[in-house]
């Protein structure tokens, strides 16, 4: 069982939490129309920037950013 827990935690690293929190707050403001929709791409780029600032490799940060954009159907 312990091995399964470790596998489940692979994506759950500290270097994504701040980026995720900032991104979620900014997207909530976008949904509430407190920020203009023109900031969608800059907000997503900020997510990637914070990931690398917090120690994630640039390749892994790029893949998280790319996944985020694809999940929203926006592309890169």
The pLDDT tens digits for 12-61 are 567 788 999 999 999 999 999 999 999 999 999 999 999 999 999 999 99
Does residue 44 fall inside a structural domain? yes
Place of tokens 């990931």: 51
70 against 12, higher pLDDT = 70
Burial class of residue 1, CB neighbours in 10 A (0-12, 13-18, 19+): exposed
Instruction: List the domain range (segments joined by +) for residue 60.
Output: 36-76
Q: How far apart are CA 46 and CA 28, in angstroms?
A: 15
Q: Give me the number of domains the chain comprises.
A: 1
Does residue 27 fall inside a structural domain? no
DSSP H helical ranges for 2-74:
2-8, 17-31, 40-53, 58-71
Does residue 23 fall inside a structural domain? no
Does residue 2 fall inside a structural domain? no
Does residue 51 fall inside a structural domain? yes
Does residue 42 fall inside a structural domain? yes
70 C-beta neighbours (distance < 10 Å), count: 11
């Amino acid at each position: 069982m312990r091995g399964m827990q470790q596998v489940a935690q692979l994506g759950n690293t500290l270097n994504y939490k701040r980026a995720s929190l900032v991104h979620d707050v900014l997207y909530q403001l976008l949904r509430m129309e407190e920020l203009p929709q023109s900031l969608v791409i800059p907000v997503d780029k900020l997510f990637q920037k914070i990931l690398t600032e917090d120690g994630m490799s640039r390749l892994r940060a790029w893949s998280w950013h790319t996944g985020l954009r694809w999940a929203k159907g926006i592309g890169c």
